[in-house]
Amino acid sequence: MKTNIFTALLVAILFLTNCSSSSDPAPQLTEEEVQINKLSETWVLGSVIYVDDDVTERFTDFSLTFTKSKTYTATGSLGDYDFEPFKASGTWDFIDGDLNVITRNDGVNMEVSVTDDALFLTFNMTEANGRTAGLGSYRFDLVTQ
Render pLDDT for 76-94 as a digit per residue (tens, 0 to 9).
Answer: 887 666 557 888 999 999 9
Mean pLDDT of the chain: 84
Pick one of 3.30.70.1400, 3.30.360.10, 2.40.128.20, 3.20.19.10 as the CATH number of 31-144. 2.40.128.20
Q: 79-85: long-range contacts at Cβ-Cβ below 8 A with a sequence spacing of 24 or more?
A: 79/55, 79/134, 81/133, 81/134, 82/131, 82/132, 82/133, 82/134, 83/125, 83/127, 83/129, 83/131, 83/132, 83/133, 83/134, 83/135, 84/134, 85/123, 85/125, 85/134, 85/138, 85/140
The pLDDT of residue 81: 61
Is pLDDT at 11 greater than 70 in this prediction?
Answer: no
Domain boundaries, the chain: 31-144
